[in-house]
């Protein structure tokens, strides 16, 4: 099939039926119109590959698949929106970084620098590596070790895990 007039004829002949199938599947006029236009765009792109006797079945198959795609995307989007609403907002850290660093005398200066740049300045490991002339792997190691020391300082092994944060805060 090569004629533009032929495409117009096919559109006039089948557009109403394709639209009704889409409308029945999605129950929203504007979405059905959009899917119908996508179906005929696909027909235009595949115009030379199709035979005239294939047209009605091909159009209806494409319409059915496009409506299925719509619902698949709709449910994914709906689930994503629900998850976003359920997601809690970020809260300020329970402890001030300066207090944490003061409570851990075992931290070397490089650990303190890496922690400060990461959590106070919000830098990535790559940015910290550039700033300190270390490799990203070294920065990662310093951060992991520093966080391990802070955890050990805040919750000593002899304490139960149910201990409250107030027990570890210095008196004001």
How many other CB atoms sit within 10 Å of the CB of residue 128?
23
4-86: CATH topology is Rna Polymerase Sigma Factor; Chain: A (1.10.1740)
What percent of the chain clears pLDDT 70, i.e. is strictly above it? 82
The CATH number, out of the four listed (1.20.1050.10, 1.10.10.10, 3.40.980.10, 1.10.4080.10), of the domain defined by the range 97-168:
1.10.10.10
Residue 149: the pLDDT is 87
- Identify the pLDDT of residue 60: 94
According to the model, what pLDDT value does residue 153 have?
80
* Residue ranges of the chain assigned to CATH 1.10.1740.10: 4-86
Give the phi and the psi of residue 140 in degrees, each rounded to 5.
-60, -45
- Closest among 64, 65, 80 to 24, alpha carbons compared: 64
- Based on its alpha-carbon atoms, the radius of gyration of the chain, rounded to whole angstroms, reads 31
> Alpha-carbon distance 40 to 33, whole Å?
11
What is the distance between the alpha carbons of residues 61 and 129, in angstroms, rounded to a whole number?
55
Least confident of 105-114, 127-136, 154-163: 154-163
Q: Write out pLDDT tens, residues 53-98.
A: 888 999 999 999 999 999 999 999 888 887 776 655 656 557 778 8
Q: Return residue ranges of the chain for CATH 1.10.10.10.
A: 97-168
- CA dist 142 and 125 (Å) reads 10
């Amino acid at each position: 099939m090569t004629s533009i007039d032929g495409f117009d004829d096919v559109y006039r002949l089948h557009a109403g039926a394709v639209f009704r199938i889409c409308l029945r599947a999605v129950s929203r006029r504007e979405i059905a119109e959009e899917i119908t236009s996508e179906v005929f765009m696909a027909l235009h792109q595949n115009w030379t590959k199709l035979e005239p006797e294939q047209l009605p079945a091909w159009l209806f198959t494409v319409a059915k698949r496009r409506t299925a795609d719509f619902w698949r995307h709709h449910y994914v989007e709906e689930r994503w929106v629900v998850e976003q609403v359920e997601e809690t907002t970020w809260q300020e850290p329970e402890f001030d970084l300066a207090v944490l660093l003061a409570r851990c005398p075992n931290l070397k200066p490089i650990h303190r620098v890496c922690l400060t740049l990461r959590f106070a300045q919000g830098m990535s490991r790559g940015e910290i590596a550039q700033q300190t002339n270390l490799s990203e792997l070294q920065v990662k190691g310093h951060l992991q070790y520093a966080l391990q020391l802070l955890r050990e300082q805040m919750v000593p092994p002899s304490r139960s895990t149910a201990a409250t944060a107030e027990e570890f805060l210095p008196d004001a």
